[in-house]
Every structure is written in structure tokens, then in C-alpha cells.
Amino acid sequence: MMAKANNSSLFIGFLMVSAAVLILPHQITSNLNAFFIELFSPVISLRIDIPEELINSKSPGGEWVTRQEYNRLWVAYKNIYADLLEEHERLEKMSQYRSYLPKSGAGLVAAKVIRKESGQFLLISRGALDGVRTGQYVMSDGAVVGTVSEVSTANARVTLVINNSHSLEVRIIRDQSTDYLRANIKGDGVSACKIPLVSREFDVKPGDLVYASPTPRFLDTPRIIGEITQVVPDQNNPLLWDITVNPPIDYDKLQEVAVVVMETVMEAK
Amino acid sequence: MKWINFVLTIMTVTLINAGSVMGLITISSLDIRPDLLIAALAFFAYISDRRDAIITSFMVGFMADISGSTMGPSMIAFGIIGVCFSALRDVLLMERLRNRIIPIFLMSMGAMIIVDLLTAIKTGQHIARPYLTIPLCSVYTAAVGAVIWPLLDIIAVMLGVKKRNSR
């Protein structure tokens, strides 16, 4: 009888402690998670990679590249194209007046991916000490993969663009065109993204490119997110498009990313 | 129970569970992977006496929380589910592989649903497609848990836990 009462008290005691921990603000309790990650990051980030040669047999003529290499080159090409469009735009403005302020410089902070977390998050090895702040863009091989959502002293959590609670302003650009359409992109929670609320009045086709829009203090030029792979009428609202975007990144294989840390004019002073 | 050995064991399981190594056995882009801590929770809740089951359940929950992203949900979920499982241990026969799968599956489903709900309350974050992810992860956890049970049996001897008599 006594043992039963003791067990009940023990259970209730533990439950109350757990409830107290749950009630504590996430900003406070997340320090415990950050401490654990910092302490064990060498073990947690340990990877066993299966060599590419075991997965893919090599072409004898060497006429093709791996999907990873193809994606890297595709992203680089599309980003250069976006830069070209920006330069055109800048040239048009320059021909009218000289910009007063110099272009703010963007720095990249390279970070190691400690692990990919369920729910489309990445835990990276850079934090507030390295200038990483919430909202900064995170790139891999030149493509935007997500934004920083939580920062601790030495680590940060990145919400991937495929996360279904993640939203970003984007530009939809047709290849070889200078016009673009503004929209918002949202992850589908699995491996692709969706662009909701685009009217069917707009001409959007598979193959159009999706770029993250420049954002003051976070991104100064458009950077590629992915390519539109499917455009069908929205089943719930036939006046809108249901647009699917496929990012050119294999998130499971991400080992290194770069955080865009912009040095604004004010900070430089 | 030799508590230092238990802490070391759970720490090892936690590090494997939280590590990138688990990516090797992850299935599909939905991130379907077994939760080794739930398998360990099932084992320790079944094999320990009531008092130890309460302590181990909350400790495993604490480890799940600290190695994850939110503190609190797993402690509560694992604590409640572990104690319930411990209360049912007299009517469960876990000696055979096929008998272990359903209890671990149900336990995993219960724990994951509670964790997802409490995490959503605390941080507003939901896992993607829970109606698909939770059952699939639970099936995977049950399968892996049932297979590694004999290994945990060996570890239990090192922890000084008396093996239960099979009926």
C-alpha cells in the first residue's frame, strides 16, 4: 500500500516537473538543447557516406555528370542569369542618376550541417558568435535552401524552403525574359514547394524559374530556389493556379551550407 | 538497477538516435526513421518494476527532449505512456518477436501523437503530414524495436535488472 502511494507520488512529481519544463518559454529551454548539441556535435554530426561509385556506375565516355553536379551547374547558370538581369536594371537606373550609397556587401558564413531534423529543419554549426541572425538566408551550391529560424551561441536552426510553415517572397521568371511575377512560396512538407494564390490570368508554365526576392538587410540579388515543374488549376479555387516548384537540392545529402550575412551600410560605419 | 550504467546506455542510444548515422536507414523524403528511444522506453518500462519504470520513462523522455528541439513534450508523453505500458506488463507477453510488434507500435503511436500536440502548443510547429508520418514511423519503430529487443535483454543483465519469468 505504502509502495503504491510512493509510486504515485513519484509519478505525479515527475509529471509536474515535466509540465513546468513544458510551460517554460521556448527561448529559455532551447538553451538546454543548444548545450547538448554543442557538447555532442562531433558525435551527432558523424556521417557514414556511401561512395558515389557504389551507387552510380561510371559512363565509359565520361559524357555525363552526376545529378548532384548537374544541379550545381544548373543553379550556377541560373544565378548568373539573375545577376545579368540585375545588372541590366542597375544600368538603366545608372543612366539616369548615380546611386548615392554603395551596394551593401554580402558575406557568406560557411557552416557544417550537424544533422537534418524531422520537419525539414537543419541544425548548423554556426551561431550568434559568427554573426548568424534569425531571418538570414541559407544557401547551398548557390541555391537558397532556407532561412535561419533559431539561433544559439554556436548553433543555428535553419527552416528549409520545403517546410510547410515556411514562407518566402519570390519572383517567377521565364528563361531569357526580363519580366517577373511576384509571389510567395511555401513548402509542401515533403520534398517540394508550392506557390499559392497566383491568379490564372498570369502566364505561368512548367520550366519557369523561381528566385528568392532581394530583401533589405538579408539578400541583395535574386537567388534561385527552384524550377516550376507543374502548373494545374487549383482544385479548391479554379481561378487560381496550383504551382509546384522542385528545388535542385538533395536535402538529405547536404553537408555544408552558407549563411548570407549582409554587412549593411549602418553596421559598416 | 545500476543507474550509472542505465544513464550511459540511454546516452548512447540518444546519441545514435539523434545522430546523422540514422540518415542511413531513413526512408523517403517524409523522413521516416525508427525512434530508438521509444524502443528503449518500451523495453525498460516492461522489464523494470513499477518504481524503476516511472524513473526510466521520464529519463528517456528527458533525453528525447534534450536531443530534439523542444523541452517538455517527450518527458510528459514518454512518462505517461511508459507508466501505462508498465501497468500492462503482466498481461503482455513480449518473448516472441511477433508479440512485441503491436505493443511497441501502439506505444509509439501514442507517444508521437502526444509529442506532436504538445510541441505544437509550445512552439506552433507541426510535423509535416502527421497522419502519414506518425503511423509509418511507428511501424518502423515497432519493427526495429522488436528486432533489437534481445540486444536490450543482454544490456539489461549488465544493468542488474532481473529478467522476468516467462509464463
Quote the distance between the C-alpha of residue A214 and its chain's center.
Answer: 14
pLDDT score of A95: 55
pLDDT score of A57: 54
Lowest-confidence range among B23-27, B46-50, B161-165? B161-165
Q: Which of B21, B50, B128 sits opposite A7 (nearest CB)?
A: B50
Q: Are A153 and A37 in contact (CB under 8 A)?
A: no
Instruction: Report CA torsion sign: A196, B132, A255, A70.
Output: negative
Q: Give the chain B residue nearest A192 (alpha carbons).
A: B29
Cell digits of residue A211: 528566385
Q: How far apart are CA A135 and CA A151, in angstroms?
A: 10
Do residue B122 and residue A48 have CB atoms under 8 angstroms apart?
Answer: no
The tens digit of pLDDT for each residue in A178-216 reads 778 888 888 887 788 888 888 888 888 888 888 888 888
Lowest-confidence range among A117-121, A162-166, A182-186, B45-49? A117-121
pLDDT score of A34: 87
Residue A268: pLDDT band (50, 70, 90) is: very low
Is the ipTM of this structure higher than 0.95? no
Provide, rounded to the nearest whole percent, the portion of chain A with pLDDT above 70: 82
Q: How far apart are CA B135 and CA B133, in angstroms?
A: 6
Using alpha carbons, select from B96, B94, B138, B97 the residue that is nearest to residue B116.
B138
Q: How far apart are CA A146 and CA A157, in angstroms?
A: 10
Q: Which residues contact A44 (CB under 8 A, 6 or more apart)?
A: A37, A114, A115, B15, B18, B19, B20
Phi/psi of residue A170, each to 5°? -135, 165
Do residue B54 and residue A14 have CB atoms under 8 angstroms apart?
Answer: yes
Provide, rounded to the nearest whole percent, the portion of chain B with pLDDT above 70: 96
**Cell 512552439 found at:** B123
For residue B162, pLDDT over 90 is answered with no
Residue A101: pLDDT band (50, 70, 90) is: very low
> Does any CB of chain B come closer than 8 Å to the CB of residue A32?
yes
Using alpha carbons, select from A162, A135, A134 the residue that is nearest to residue A225.
A162
b/e burial code for range A42-68 (CB count within 10 A of at least 16 → b): eebbeeeeeeeeeeeeeeeeeeeeeee
pLDDT score of B53: 93
Strands A137-140 and A121-124: unpaired
Which of A7, A16, A22, A165 is the best substitution to test chain B (most B C-beta atoms within 10 A)?
A22
Highest mean pLDDT out of A163-172, B97-106, B119-128? B97-106
Report how far apart the first and last C-alpha atoms of chain B are (Å, whole number): 23
> What DSSP string runs through A39-66?
HHHHHHT---PPPHHHHSPPPTT-----
Q: How far apart are CA B130 and CA B127, in angstroms?
A: 6
> Does any CB of chain B come closer than 8 Å to the CB of residue A255?
no
Phi/psi of residue A233, each to 5°? -60, 140
The tens digit of pLDDT for each residue in A230-261 reads 888 888 888 888 888 888 888 877 888 888 88
Mean pLDDT of B5-23: 89
Higher per-residue pLDDT: A13 or B124? A13
Q: Which of A10, A165, A191 sits opposite B29 (nearest CB)?
A: A191
Q: Are B65 and B38 in contact (CB under 8 A)?
A: no
Q: Which residues of A touch B83 (CB under 8 A)?
A: 11
Q: How far apart are CA B130 and CA B113, in angstroms?
A: 8
Using alpha carbons, select from A47, A28, A208 the residue that is nearest to residue A113.
A47
* C-alpha distance from B75 to closest chain A C-alpha (Å): 6
Residue A59: pLDDT band (50, 70, 90) is: low
Q: Which residues of B touch A121 (CB under 8 A)?
A: 69
Interface of A with B in 143-182 (CB under 8 A): 150, 157, 163-165
Higher per-residue pLDDT: A59 or B132? B132
Judged by DSSP in three states, A182 sits in strand
Q: Which of A14, A33, A50 sits opposite B69 (nearest CB)?
A: A33
Q: Are A213 and A222 in contact (CB under 8 A)?
A: yes
